[in-house]
């Protein structure tokens, strides 16, 4: 697996927390020095490990917000 780096630029909020302490969070994350994007994924305490997640551009997060607003 190739090396990568990340920086959590903004911690927006916690969606849920498991009994093991891992939390599903919405953050703005810069991957490999690129522009920060919205990111939803599970994080271990202290953000030292992460699970699979989804990264969304500004346009995609706006579209998701619009879809959720119709529920």
Q: What CATH number should be reported for the domain holding residue 55?
A: 2.30.31.70
Domain-embedded: residue 1: no
pTM: 0.89
Number of domains composing the chain = 1
Does residue 43 surpass a pLDDT of 70? yes
CB atoms inside a 10 Å sphere around CB 51: 10
Distance of CA 46 to the CA centre of its chain: 14
Burial class of 29 by CB neighbour count within 10 A (0 to 12, 13 to 18, 19+): buried
- Looking at residue 35, the DSSP 8-state letter turns out to be P
Does residue 2 surpass a pLDDT of 90? no
Does residue 59 surpass a pLDDT of 70? yes
Domain that holds residue 39: 6-69
Q: What is the pLDDT of residue 3?
A: 83
């Amino acid at each position: 697996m190739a090396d990568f780096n990340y920086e959590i630029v903004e911690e927006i909020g916690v969606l849920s927390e498991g009994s093991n302490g891992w939390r599903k969070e919405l953050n703005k994350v810069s991957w490999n020095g690129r522009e920060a994007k919205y990111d939803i994924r599970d994080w271990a305490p202290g953000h030292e490990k992460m699970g699979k997640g989804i990264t969304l551009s500004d346009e995609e997060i706006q579209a998701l917000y619009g879809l959720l607003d119709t529920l």
